[in-house]
Amino acid sequence: MKNESYSLQESLIYAHKMAQLTKAIWKRVEKDWQEWIKPYNLNINEHHILLIAYHLDGVSISEVSKLGIMHVSTAFNFSKKLETRGLVRLSKKVNDKRSTYVELTDEGRELFIETMQEMDPEKNSIVSASLSLRSEGGNFPEFEELETIVEELYGADYIDILNRSLSRVKRKY
């Protein structure tokens, strides 16, 4: 696969384009996310940890770090802060003292559900900016190629964790 020939120029153009497009979209996602959770006195990392713990029962800090794409220390430190606020419980397993597991408390679960209920798709720039594509195709775009690239970068288990959390969204909050 790696022996497939491609020109330097072709790869520079592709890399530059992908950098611009993903930066553009991610920065807007980040901005929307901050606006959305501001009333709850949470930052994006903290909310992301709540989200991951909500969707994945008995998740470890290293899984949070992987799915949240944050350093293990970031995942750990923000989980600690959430624990101080009584929103999560951190624990170790008897047979595995090395890993720390994150679990929502009832209060954490309620707060998370509240944030999700307050999420207004009309205020979500990415949803709004995708409506013309949705009209054309009948659905929001699938972005299978992006998924393939993310799978190559982060491994099949990243996509697996993502799909597990997406399938939970399919149930009601």
Asked if residue 73 binds a second copy (CB under 8 A), the reply is no
Cβ atoms of residues 76 and 60 within 8 Å: no
**Subset of residues 95 to 114 that bind a second copy, contact rule: CB under 8 A:** none
Asked if residue 42 binds a second copy (CB under 8 A), the reply is no
Distance, CA of 102 to CA of 76 (rounded, Å):
9
Tell me how far, at minimum, the Cβ of 160 lies from a second copy, in Å: 12
CB atoms within 10 A of CB 95: 5
Q: Please name the helix (run of DSSP H) or strand (run of DSSP E) that holds residue 152, with its range, or none.
A: helix 144-154
* CA 159, 78, 92, 99 torsion-angle sign: positive
Tell me how far, at minimum, the Cβ of 60 lies from a second copy, in Å: 18
6/95 with CB nearer a second copy: 6
Asked if residue 40 binds a second copy (CB under 8 A), the reply is no
Q: Which amino acid is at 70?
A: M
- C-alpha triplet 112, 116, 120: angle, nearest 5°: 150
**Subset of residues 122 to 141 that bind a second copy, contact rule: CB under 8 A:** 122, 124-135, 140-141
Site residues (vs a second copy, CB under 8 A): 1-2, 4, 6, 8-29, 33, 51, 67, 69, 116, 119, 121-122, 124-135, 140-141, 143, 145-150, 152-154, 158, 162, 165-166, 169-170, 172
